[in-house]
């Protein structure tokens, strides 16, 4: 039975992950679950909810919550990490500052992702060091954003680590939607995928008969638009984001694109669509934040989670638990994960953190080779990798020049004068978090 800690235990994603844990107990047995967050108030609400949920669904599991890293990381087998350094106050700045200067404002893409990345690296590095001191053999499953930059930074800082897995839920979100579009069991679909995190493409989607369903999916999406499987739970901005899969496919019909590529392919169009006075942070605060916390408080007051509405079993929660189970039980199931390239995509830099399909077992991820990719994709990815690498180096060396180079390379910025203005504004906003550049 496993002892786990969930970092970012006060997040609105936590109830869904906890629920997924209770529904996967036969696959992933639990002994102890500790929730850990630096925000005491948020942690208490979600932590009390967790106690009620497990008391009703799995009373044999010991559940607790803490704001003390020494308690959180002691003797664990798995760390589920989804922290948000700076919380929503800083996410808001990541989105609004670039937008004030006419540049994409998004939590993982462009200057917003750069800003968030420089904040995340320090806390992530500290987390890994704490975990290794208190639980030397634990697996660290990392979902922290911006995942691309975090993954590359951890690989550079801890090159010998072989028990850190970086993974994102967007490929599986897409795969679930594809499975709905072709009315096929998602567990029987085998994807071939290449790229970087939030910057990749599905080339094939094989079913259990060996047939590639990607052509059919492209046809469906091109004719009727893309509809996410969980459309009724999605806010307006996400529905608009998904709608653009069709545009991307029309312009670049080779492969099925990750949704996030639209910020890099159509930056001018996307900027016009984004409102600097009402960004995704405002939408999340007005929606998910309010709803989840109100519901968790209600459950705590009532003392039962049996009629709970917010703890739906979303893809994110299911995936986190299935990933852990695949490692713990050496199931070697296929997931799309981030790994150091080293030849997987033959004509890309070896040190990039590529996102590809891999089997997952006790030996960690065993990626499938992709081979050479075509010029257009190679060009885009090399540019994005250079941005990611310079961002990590700017952090590690405290280099303003590298930070400016990174932002200038980013397809959402391009103009160096604009890059400098946005960088200076972000430095000011992040002075409590960033190293001196
Ligand atoms: C998707 C992405 C995640 C991202 C999340 C943001 O799931 O794959 O990387 O964190 O969306 O969602 P939010 O609802 O907070 O904007």
Average the pLDDT over 70-86 and give the result.
98
* Band of residue 6 on the pLDDT scale cut at 50, 70, 90: very high
172 lines ligand 1 (CB under 6 A): no
Q: What is the pLDDT of residue 322?
A: 97
Contact between 350 and 343 under an 8 Å Cβ cutoff? The reply is yes
pLDDT value at residue 106: 98
Protein residue closest via CA to atom 15 of ligand 1: 284
| Phi (first) and psi of residue 289, to 5 degrees | -55, -50
Rounded to the nearest angstrom, the distance between the alpha carbon of 108 and the centre of ligand 1 is 9
Ligand 1 lined by 144 (C-beta under 6 Å): no
- Per-residue pLDDT tens digits for 151-199: 999 999 999 999 999 999 999 999 999 999 999 999 999 999 999 999 9
178 is catalytic: no
Instruction: Report how far ligand 1's centroid is from the alpha carbon of 134 (Å).
Output: 30
Task: Calculate how far, in angstroms, residue 303's C-alpha sits from the geometric centre of ligand 1.
Answer: 30
How far is residue 374's CA from residue 306's CA, in Å, rounded to a whole number?
A: 52
Give pLDDT, residue 234.
87
The response to whether residue 355 sits with its C-beta less than 6 Å from ligand 1 reads no
The Cα–Cα gap between 54 and 169 comes to: 24
- CB distance 145 to ligand 1 below 6 Å: yes
Separation between Cα atoms, residue 327 and residue 28, nearest integer Å: 10
pLDDT (tens digit per residue) in 95-116 = 999 999 999 999 999 999 999 9
Cβ of 149 less than 6 Å from ligand 1: no
Task: Please work out whether the CB of residue 179 comes within 6 Å of at least one atom of ligand 1.
Answer: no
Atom of ligand 1 nearest to the CA of 143: 9
Q: Is 280 in the pocket of ligand 1 (CB under 6 A)?
A: yes
Query: Is this complex scored with an ipTM above 0.95?
Result: yes
At 312 the pLDDT is: 55
Give yes or no for residue 207 having a pLDDT over 70. Answer: yes
Whether 260 is catalytic is yes
Atom of ligand 1 nearest to the CA of 108: 9
Question: Quick one: pLDDT at residue 232?
Answer: 84
Q: Are 353 and 196 in contact (CB under 8 A)?
A: yes
Tell me the H-state helices in 205-266: 214-224, 236-251, 261-265
Among protein residues, the one whose CA lies closest to atom 8 of ligand 1:
170
């Amino acid at each position: 039975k496993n002892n786990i800690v969930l970092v970012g235990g006060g997040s609105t994603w936590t109830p869904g992950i906890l629920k997924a844990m209770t529904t996967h107990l036969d696959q992933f047995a639990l002994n102890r679950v500790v929730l850990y967050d630096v925000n005491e108030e948020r942690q208490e609400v979600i932590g009390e909810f967790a106690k009620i949920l497990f008391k009703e669904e799995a009373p044999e599991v010991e559940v607790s919550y803490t704001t003390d890293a020494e308690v959180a990381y002691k003797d664990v087998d798995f760390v589920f990490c989804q922290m948000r350094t700076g919380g929503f106050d800083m996410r808001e700045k990541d989105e609004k500052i670039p937008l004030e200067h006419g540049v994409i404002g998004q939590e993982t893409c462009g200057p917003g992702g750069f800003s968030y990345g420089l904040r995340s690296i320090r806390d992530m590095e500290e987390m890994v060091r704490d975990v290794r001191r208190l639980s030397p053999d634990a697996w660290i499953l990392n979902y922290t954003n911006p995942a691309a930059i975090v993954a590359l930074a951890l690989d550079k800082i801890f090159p010998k680590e072989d028990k850190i897995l970086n993974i994102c839920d967007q490929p599986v979100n897409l795969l679930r939607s594809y499975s709905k579009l072709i009315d096929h069991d998602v567990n029987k679909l085998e994807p071939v995928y290449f790229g970087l995190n939030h910057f990749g493409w599905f080339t094939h989607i094989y079913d259990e008969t060996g047939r590639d369903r990607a052509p059919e999916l492209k046809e469906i999406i091109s004719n009727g638009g893309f509809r996410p499987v969980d459309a009724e739970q999605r806010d307006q901005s996400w529905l608009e984001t998904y709608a653009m899969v069709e545009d991307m496919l029309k312009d670049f019909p080779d492969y099925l694109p990750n949704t996030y590529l639209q910020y890099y392919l159509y930056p001018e169009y996307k900027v016009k669509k984004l409102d600097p006075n009402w960004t995704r942070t405002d939408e999340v605060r007005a929606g998910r934040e309010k709803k989840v916390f109100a519901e968790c408080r209600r459950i705590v007051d009532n003392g039962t989670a049996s009629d709970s509405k917010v703890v739906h079993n979303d893809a994110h929660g299911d995936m986190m638990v299935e990933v852990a189970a695949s490692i713990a039980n050496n199931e070697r199931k296929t997931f799309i994960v981030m790994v150091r390239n080293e030849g997987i995509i033959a004509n890309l830099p070896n040190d990039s953190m590529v996102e590809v399909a891999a089997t997952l077992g006790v030996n960690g991820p065993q990626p499938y080779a992709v081979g050479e990719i075509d010029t257009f994709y190679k060009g885009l990815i090399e540019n994005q990798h250079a941005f990611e690498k310079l961002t990590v180096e700017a952090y590690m060396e405290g280099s303003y020049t590298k930070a400016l180079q990174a932002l200038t390379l980013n397809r959402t910025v391009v103009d160096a004068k604009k890059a400098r203005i946005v960088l200076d504004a972000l430095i000011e906003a992040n002075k409590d978090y960033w190293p001196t550049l």
